[in-house]
Amino acid sequence: MGKFSTYRYLELKDDTSAPHINVRSRTIKHPRRLKKVFIFLIVLALFVTYFLGLFAGQSQWLDGLAKSLGYESVFHHAVIIDAGSSGSRVLAYKFRVPFTVFGQANLDLVDEYFEQSKPGLSSYADDPEKGADTIVQLIKKAEFLTPPERRRATPLIVRATAGLRLLPADKAQLLIDTVAKAIAKLGYDVGSDGVKIMDGSDEGIFIWYTVNLLHNLMDGNTMAALDLGGGSTQITFQLSPADTPHYPAADQYVVPAGTNVTLYTHSYLNLGLLAARYGVFRLEADDNDTDEFTSVCVDPIVQREPWTYANKNYVVSGAHRPPGLKRTAAYQQCHLVVRRYVRATLDWEPRRAPLGQVAAMSYFYDVAADAGLIDVMKGGTVSVSAYRASAVRACSAANVEQPWACLDLVYVLALLQDAYKIADDEPISLFKKVNGHEVSWALGLAYTTVMNKIVITP
């Protein structure tokens, strides 16, 4: 049996309310009359069963009919701040409760607002007041979506991710306290844990929710979700009862998705794209505390390229390559050191690829888009072999405009291949938006938060 995450998820119970008929033997005084009654009951049962099935399969039609007859939807709002390692984002949502006769209440996403700012909140570790103000300004930009009279009932949640996890505990807590004090004045519903560092497991679970909600897959064959941030990466997918013994119990969570389902989710700290880039540079420098790096994953034409990580400035140069070095040799040198870093940083390694169709987001998308593997606006489908071919090209090209292209492509390849066990030809769907909505764990958090409120205070 799995456990519940930090957030209290909406509990779905088995339907045990269906009436049970106790048939007792008794004397029949009017057999012909009772036979007619029995036939009527059978017809009535068939009639009800038919319409139950009809409405269950036509919920959108029923909701549309109700609206045309004057049904007024109930709207709910939520505002989520994603305080990531590379930037902060506000995602404000407007949901409606569709008309339903049978089954559980649900939510439709009606509207959304997205805005972001850089750098991330963790960059203000030595100036928490300024960091808090960046969050306040983002919230103010999104306030038009929530009517003033609804703000007291609208959840405002700030969740920091890997950037704050990597800070010293005292500095991270000071940032959290300062942000909490600042947003408490904005008139929203900020709970006692409204501002906190997000568990990696929650990050994975909520991005899984988002992907499957936006594809209307919560009651069907759900997709596995891979998320790659700046400081960490998450993998989340649904387990069957036969699969659960093969995954750590600590990584299994029971969540509602039409019925209760068990998810496997694992978050790898220091395996986000930027953290891995830094980790590879440090590995090549024999873990010396230096601000000057030389890397085989960077073309030699690049010398003393400025780079900032975790609010600290570095310079990076490409390592010398012998004249006439074959195209694949540069890739192989880079892959060797990147793979060493990945293998050394993994805290648990699954034996098989994720179950179900694979969806990938965030830097998985950005790296592929920068390499021309997908349409930058529409996304697309890639494979491990496509990342590899692109990495070979990037590692042999003197591209001063994209000095980290070789390293980033090789790293994504190693993560998918060595950590997530994805086969060369397995299709990976890359999403940034679905039907115009941002693919972010913030939607999953907003959805479950509002659904909990509906159940507690209908």
pLDDT tops 50 at residue 224: yes
Q: Is 231 annotated as a binding residue?
A: yes
Amino acid 451: pLDDT: 87
* Angle of helix 59-68 versus helix 31-57 axis, rounded to 10: 90
Amino acid 57: pLDDT: 45
Q: For the residues of 119-185, what is the DSSP string, one character each? A: S-GGGGTT-HHHHHHHHHHHHHHHGGGS-GGGGGGSBEEEEE-HHHHTS-HHHHHHHHHHHHHHHGG
Q: Is 232 annotated as a binding residue?
A: yes
Q: Active site residue: 112, 203, 284, 438, which one?
A: 203
Q: Is 372 annotated as a binding residue?
A: no
Residue owning tokens 């929710």: 209
Model's pTM, two decimal places? 0.80
- Give the architecture (CATH level 2) of 74-200+437-456: 2-Layer Sandwich (3.30)
112 counts as catalytic: no
Q: Is 279 annotated as a binding residue?
A: no
- Distant-in-sequence, close-in-space partners of 8: CB < 8 Å, separation ≥ 6: 452
Amino acid 55: pLDDT: 45
Determine the distance from the C-alpha atom of residue 276 to the mean position of all C-alpha atoms in its chain, rounded to a whole number: 20
Average pLDDT, the chain: 85
Amino acid 27: pLDDT: 29
> By the 8 A CB rule, do 179 and 101 touch?
no
Mean pLDDT of 26-49: 47
Any idea where the domains of the chain sit in the sequence?
74-200+437-456
